[in-house]
Amino acid sequence: MNIISSPKDMQSFADQARAGGRVIAFIPTMGYLHDGHLSLIREGCRHGDEVVVSIFVNPTQFAPGEDLASYPRAFERDCLLAEGAGATTIFSPAERDLYGDGYQTFVALEKLPFHLCGLSRPTFFRGVATVVSKLFNIVKPHVAVFGEKDYQQLLVIRRMVSDLNFDIRIIGGPIIREADGLAMSSRNSYLTPGERQRALCLSKALKQAEAMVRDGVSGAADLIDAARKIITAHPDAVIDYIEIFDPETIEAVQTVDGPARMALAVKIGTTRLIDNTLLLP
Ligand code: PAF
């Protein structure tokens, strides 16, 4: 497996791959890989001859006071895991290579970020859209794979790719869960054993909503109320949002009379977790 750190070297590698007719699949990550990432890499292998995984903890998507400094890192382990899942190249730039002196260019969307996570993390999607644009220009993929766990991020990337005419196919990969239902996330490593147990309230709340919709409940307010009850049963769980929305536009829906997405963000202790599911009446 190749390990490339310089953007110029990555661009030359991509140019050669493209000139040789090889399809580049790309999986952007911030490292500390888990089975969720590995499933995205395996999905990438189905679409590309070169499967490039970036590992870069992107400072511009963290606000002051968030966990940039403590974000878990395990580069060597990540390389082994990525290679095992089929990655052919790791791209791992230094911060100064992506954001050098005098850096001042950002990509910002005008509507999608003003919902859900974007309300409590107002600079997050600007940082994500900026770094993903830069990575697209460096890795030059034909196809890129993003997880549905960060559902709003997936919509932001799809919109950005369409709006800015990136010639890249975006594929969404399903949420991968632990056996007990907790959605996999690098941030789960912050949880104490007790918090880890209480964190199950996110997936339980979503499962209950799925079941209620299957049983014919369609009022978004009732579904949200029931989810809120499950979560607030834990005194150290603080809800950021619970929303039910149109899966494409992210606009809130009042009645689930067609496919809708339910998403939530909850702080368990000091760890902010997100999860979501598709509601199908
Ligand atoms: O989902 C992530 O890990 C990050 O937001 C991404 C897409 C790698 C951009 O830094």
Residue 31 Cα to ligand 1 middle (Å): 9
- For 29-55, what is each residue's pLDDT tens digit? 999 999 999 999 999 999 999 999 999
For all residues of the chain together, what is the average pLDDT?
98
Active-site hit among 37, 47, 115, 142: 37
Model-level pTM greater than 0.95?
A: yes
The predicted structure's pLDDT at residue 278: 98
SS3 label, residue 30: coil
**Closest atom of ligand 1 to CA, residue 128:** 9
The predicted structure's pLDDT at residue 279: 98
The predicted structure's pLDDT at residue 10: 98
The predicted structure's pLDDT at residue 206: 98
Is 248 exposed, middle or buried (CB count within 10 Å of its CB: 0-12, 13-18, 19+)? exposed
Low-confidence ranges of the chain (pLDDT < 50): none
- For 188-215, what is each residue's pLDDT tens digit? 999 999 999 999 999 999 999 999 999 9
What residue segments make up the domains of the chain, in order of their start?
Answer: 2-173, 192-279
- Fold (CATH) for 2-173: Rossmann fold (3.40.50)
Give domain 192-279's CATH superfamily.
Pantoate-beta-alanine ligase, C-terminal domain (3.30.1300.10)
> Are the C-beta atoms of 147 and 80 separated by less than 8 Å?
no
